[in-house]
Amino acid sequence: MNPEPIVTRFAPSPTGHLHIGGARTALFCWAFARHAGPNGRFMIRIEDTDQARSSDESARGILEDLAWLGITWDDGPVLGDIGRGSRPVGPYFQAQRLDIYNRYVEHLGRLGRAYPAFETADELDAARRAAAAQKKTFKYPRPADVRPGEFNEARWRRAAAGEPHVVRFAMPPEGIRVHDSILGEVKFAPGEVDDFVIRKADGFPTYHFAVVIDDELMGVTHVLRAQEHLMNTPRHVALQQALTRTDGGAPFRTPVYAHMPLIFNMDGGKMSKRDKAKAARAALKAAMQKDPALTPALAAARAGLAESAVAEFLAGTSDAVEFAEALAGPFAVALPEVEVWDYRRSGYLPEVITNFLALLGWSPGMKSPDGKDVEKFDMEFLARHFSLERIGRGNAKFDRVKLLSFNADAIAAMTDDRFSERFQTWADEHEPEFARRWRALQAPRRSALLRLARPRCKTLRDLIRVVEFAMVADEAVAFDPAAVAKHLTPPGRDALAAFAQRLRALGPNADAAAIDAVVAAVAAERNAKLGEVAQPVRVGITGGTVSPPLGETVAAIGVASALRRIERCLQAR
RNA sequence: GGCCCCUUCGUCUAGCCCGGUCCAGGACGCCAGGUUCUCAUCCUGGUAACAGGGGUUCAAAUCCCCUAGGGGUCACCA
């Protein structure tokens, strides 16, 4: 006898990128199915019943992000080599399943559990506003001629005649109990839920209807979703209790529900795209404050935007993400990441994202031999140990600083070769211009840079900043005026010249240790601290005060190159 | 506002179901010190919580009740 199959699903609506919270939902659905081994299946369904907002492009983007995270699906849309071997329960785009939904709408109509309603959206709006004015909650009043259990011929005839209408479900008179694996039993009193719409005027099903039909027909056994869906669940359960299958008459089953806690920003607000606008606005305002010459018009020109757009953006009447993105580059604003794509672009590793996400609302509850909590693990570990019982009930705040620390740890734990591969793959996708120059470097030089950059990288993107000094031409090094003023004082210049002289004597292939010895020797002969030599040299070679240890820095660009830079620096003044 | 859910360090959490081993453990952060030519890494130490109030009990973070606070949701969006 085969054990009961376990089927979970992630059902995004393709109206944008994959949100980081959605990724967690998908991850938990995936982990639960994988935990069941060969018995478990994880499915993707695209909920594109909102005609106005859905797009194939965003469906594709979401699937790509899931694949990037390592969340693979057994059933669902095919993307490259992912998602083959589907069971015959598709199609997986709801827009392609309209005939199925219509069959069930008619079915419910005949049972007297669904009826056409003819109020216009405007009428309902007005009724809602009136209710709000009296501080009452609007509930759709069931029309007097509607009697649950009786087919309403008059209404269906009007509908068939082409009169614009929606179809509503007649809620049962009794209350609804929802059994939730995380929250326990949740009760909803009779009359709490009104007769909701199951088919819109455009002929598309609503979310509530499509989800219930599809989950049944696709054999979904466990529904893991965010807690914001909890209040929808009585509708779904009522629908399940009213429906029987048209292929054989079996009653619909109610899946196991598990409503997961929500994820918020550190400030307690929702993680939303608007955060990007807020960050960009704050940064721009700060920049204008610091530099009175910076006008909205100037900022607009620098960002390639219309002046009016920038004005609106600054005034807060527009939160357009495109504006935030356009401003981020020229004004060096780090926009907060809220979608998986943002984290990808910022240089986070997928296995770190999933590890961190798994810790938001779940924990393995295990100690390692040294008594510390187990909190670093891979997807295989997650799949092996995941369970609904260990999902918490309280909401979590997303601490980007901790994520960054995890990412840095993962980079530190890699081999140099692996780091190199991961960086190149990332750069090819996100910084192709840099990637081209990086590949053009000679292999030994590249690996030298990689080695010294790695402990200084928390993200893959960080590498670009750390090795910047080595990527500019000798004659293009920009000397930071503040650094020059501080370190290229007369004694500093003198030390720099002395260093150059000894460096030249070392020959072109000197290694880091030999170069460090030169720094020490120059310091010793003038009775100076190491820093009094090292910093002027650092400025002369990199243009700034920050770089990896001098020996390695010089070795990474080569002695000849270092000498040219020093010479140019000394001549400049 | 109605309904529903939640509540351990600043943050993520362990412990709670099966009361004593918890003057509450780990991680990130923060602080201090060490290593050090800058930056980063690294090492050592420290900081900091059972929301409040009532019960029950020899004993409560753990069980019960109340209060407060936070969140979700009230669409022809999903």
Q: What's the pLDDT score for residue A499?
A: 94
Q: Evaluate whether A97-260 and A472-572 have a shared fold.
A: no
Cβ of A119 near strand B (under 7 Å)? The reply is yes
* A328 — pLDDT class (breaks 50, 70, 90): confident
Tell me, what's the pLDDT at A431? 96
Q: What is the ipTM of this complex?
A: 0.96
Task: Indicate yes or no: strand B within 7 A of the C-beta of A189.
Answer: yes
Contacts of A40 (CB under 8 A, 6+ apart): A5, A6, A7, A8, A32, A33, A34
* pLDDT at res. A334: 83
Q: What is the pLDDT of residue A85?
A: 60
At residue A322, the pLDDT reads 85
Q: What pTM did the predictor assign?
A: 0.94
Return the CATH fold of A472-572: Arc Repressor Mutant, subunit A (1.10.10)
Quote the percentage of chain A above a pLDDT of 70: 98
Report the distance separating Cα A29 and Cα A555, nearest Å.
50
User: Which residue is associated with the tokens 């090292």?
Assistant: A534
Q: Which residues 72 to 101 of A reach strand B, CB within 7 A?
A: none
Nucleotide minimizing C1' to CA distance for residue A542: B38
CB A391 within 8 A of CB A361: yes
CA distances from A318 to A265, A275, A280, A303, A498 (A): 21, 13, 12, 16, 58
Q: What mean pLDDT, rounded, does chain A reach?
A: 93
* Number of continuous H segments (helices) and E segments (strands) in chain A: 26, 11
* Distance in Å, residue A371 CA to nucleotide B49 C1': 20
Biggest CA pair distance of chain A: 105
Is 90 exceeded by the pLDDT of residue A509?
Answer: no
- A 534-573 residues, CB < 7 A, strand B: 534-535, 538, 545-551
What is the percent of chain A with per-residue pLDDT over 90, rounded to a whole number?
77
Beta strand pairing status for A114-117 and A197-199? unpaired
- Mean pLDDT is highest, among A86-100, A132-146, A347-361, for A347-361
Check: CB of residue A452 under 8 Å from CB of residue A518: no
pLDDT band at A371 (very low <50, low <70, confident <90, very high): confident
Give me the pLDDT at residue A573, please: 58
Calculate ∠ Cα A152-A153-A154, nearest 5°: 95
Q: How much is the average pLDDT of A411-440?
A: 96
- Contact indicator for A256, A223 with CB cutoff of 8 Å: yes
CA of residue A396 to C1' of nucleotide B51, angstroms: 17
Burial degree of A27 (CB within 10 A; 0-12, 13-18, 19+)? buried
Domain spans in chain A, listed from the N-terminal domain onward: 97-260, 274-326, 472-572
- Residues paired with residue A19 on neighbouring β-strands, in sequence order: A339
Whether A532 sits with its Cβ under 7 A from any strand B atom: the answer reads no
A57: its two tokens:
């492009």
Q: Which position has the higher pLDDT, A507 or A344?
A: A344
Class of domain A97-260: alpha beta
Tens of pLDDT, residues A372-407: 999 999 999 999 999 999 999 999 999 999 999 999
**Sign, Cα dihedral of A349, A354, A359, A361:** positive
pLDDT digits (tens, 9 = 90+) for A272-313: 888 898 888 888 888 888 888 888 999 999 988 888 889 888
A368 touches strand B (CB under 7 A): no
What average pLDDT does the segment A523-537 reach?
A: 91
Contact A305, A326 (CB under 8 A): yes
pLDDT(A67) > 60: yes
Structure tokens at A216: 């049944």
